[in-house]
Chains A and B, each alone.
Chain A
Amino acid sequence: MSKPIYELVDELPNGGVTVMALRSLDFVVPGEWQNLIGFNNTITAVTGESDPAMVQAIGERAVALFNDKSQGYQNALWLYQTVDSASGALGAAALANKVGQDISFLGFLKNLTPKPEKAQSIDFSVKLVVELVAFCQINGIPGDSIGDFLAALGDYGGESLMRMAALVCFDGLVPLGPDFALKGLSALQNMSPKELEDNSTFKGVRSLIPGGDAAGQLSFITSSVDSVKGWMTDFVDSRGLTPESVVDNLTKFVEVSKDKLDYLGAFLDMTTNYYTHTGIQTLTRRLIERAVAEL
């Protein structure tokens, strides 16, 4: 049993590396993400209702919906949390958020090892698929519906769009370069199911990835990345994003150095948990939207 959903939302940080790194992406998706934290605060912000009795009633229904395992919200939370901790080499995400700005890039450098391109490509692809599966779990769409996910991506906003921006920038552009989507795809196409099974990020979440066995899951991940490739390429091109522009902005918020790009991906991986952070925000929003409509 995870923590109560209201505690998770009340405890979301307002500072630290994750929040600062996400703030640095405001230039990518201007005004989309305000780091909404606090359970009651979120209820009022989402619904526009501020009467305490009404807020309490919405909150109670949201808590009940989250706690009903058959509704998929807990699966989504687990996916977001697991993919974050499985991809961070030292699982230091939680620690980093607590000590916040005291974590310096240079101080960490000796503990960092850049991931081999293939491992990073798998990480990127698995994270993308986690978004797809979590989306289906939260919104109630059949778990392997790539088409529905693609249609919904066009309407992504707020913290969901910010999560995709961070995926594209921090797990794609920075560690893999401008052709990250193609690199990810070709890594998957040249991979055996066994290699996928050995990847720690995949191992963490594989129980909820559609496809049956490892071969089926590899094929599902490959077709997902292939389908979303166009959206990602357009996301980067239409905004003129480059690894340099992402890093330039990042340096305004987090103390990092620009000449160690290959270490930067590893640093972000280790010190941020942006999937968990924005994932909790997304799933809380959906719970509240449903709760207020059902009351």
Chain B
Amino acid sequence: MPTMKRWSSIVLSVCLCGLFFFATGCASKPPSPYAQVQQETTQRGAPKAVAKTATQGSQFNKFFPTSANGFERVYAQEKKGFAEAKLNKDGKNVAMLSISDTKSLPSAAQKYASSTAKIAGFPTLEIGTTQTGVLVGDRYQVKVLSRDPAFTKVERQSWIQKFDLNGLSKLS
């Protein structure tokens, strides 16, 4: 009988341990930092990520810099409100060039209110550690983004001036 009792208590403690690990195992997985945005963008009537009135990406292509001095421009994405090209050197991607319509993301334009510098007359910002941006016509954001540490801020600022910024400003 005592043996039996001892066994049943062992079985019970094993079960309890199992339950403990099961419960804490479930609880220990924290919610994803993206759970909120996931919910907001999938619920019924969720706002679209891209505004209906955004300019088609195909209209941006003609304002991009052309290939020059060993740098090759290769168009990569052309979506509503967005166009992007790779800048390659010796077959290696060194930077990205982009134009986006901030109609879809007004905060992207608003941040330029804090800008104190200008490039070609348009407000400019350094964003993060790899991005240089300008806001054209209060609406279109042009960015050059480094993909290679050797492609520095100075080069980003030089390439951003190779866009036809004035032409783009007339689009808005």
Q: Do A and B bind each other?
A: yes
**What is the interface of chain A, defined by CB distance below 8 A to chain B?**
1, 4, 6-7, 39, 47-49, 51, 54, 56, 59-61, 63-65, 67-68, 70-72, 138-141, 155, 157, 286, 289-290, 292-295
Interface flags, B41-83, vs A, CB<8A=1, else 0 = 1100010111000000100000000000000001011111110
B134: chain A residues within 8 A (beta carbon): none
Q: What CA separation (Å) do A140 and B76 show in the bound complex?
A: 9
Q: Let me know if B146 and A48 touch, CB within 8 A.
A: yes
Q: Closest residue of chain A to B149, judged by CB?
A: A48
Q: Closest residue of chain A to B93, judged by CB?
A: A157
29 contacts between A and B (CB under 8 A): A6-B38, A39-B34, A47-B130, A61-B49, A61-B105, A63-B34, A64-B37, A65-B50, A67-B38, A67-B46, A68-B49, A70-B48, A71-B49, A139-B77, A139-B78, A140-B57, A140-B77, A140-B80, A155-B88, A157-B93, A286-B77, A289-B76, A289-B77, A290-B79, A290-B82, A293-B98, A293-B100, A294-B98, A295-B127
**What is the interface of chain B, defined by CB distance below 8 A to chain A?**
32-34, 37-38, 41-42, 46, 48-50, 57, 74, 76-82, 84, 86, 88, 93, 96, 98, 100, 104-105, 108, 127-131, 141, 143, 145-147, 149
CB distance from A4 to the nearest CB of B (A): 5
A65: chain B residues within 8 A (beta carbon): 49-50
A157: chain B residues within 8 A (beta carbon): 93
B149: chain A residues within 8 A (beta carbon): 48
Contact of B77 among A48, A67, A290 (CB under 8 A): A290
Q: Let me know if B34 and A71 touch, CB within 8 A.
A: no
Q: What CA separation (Å) do A56 and B127 show in the bound complex?
A: 14
Q: Closest residue of chain B to A10, judged by CB?
A: B32
Closest 5 CB pairs of A and B: A293-B98, A68-B49, A140-B79, A67-B41, A64-B49
Q: What CA separation (Å) do A124 and B133 show in the bound complex?
A: 43
A294: chain B residues within 8 A (beta carbon): 81-82, 98, 100, 104-105, 108, 141
B141: chain A residues within 8 A (beta carbon): 294
A141: chain B residues within 8 A (beta carbon): 78
Q: Let me know if B129 and A48 touch, CB within 8 A.
A: yes
Q: Let me know if B38 and A293 touch, CB within 8 A.
A: no
Q: Closest residue of chain B to A60, judged by CB?
A: B37
Q: What CA separation (Å) do A4 and B34 show in the bound complex?
A: 9
Contact of A48 among B37, B82, B98, B130 (CB under 8 A): B130
Q: What CA separation (Å) do A216 and B42 show in the bound complex?
A: 35
Decide: A47 near B32, CB < 8 A? Known: A140-B78, A155-B86, A294-B105. no
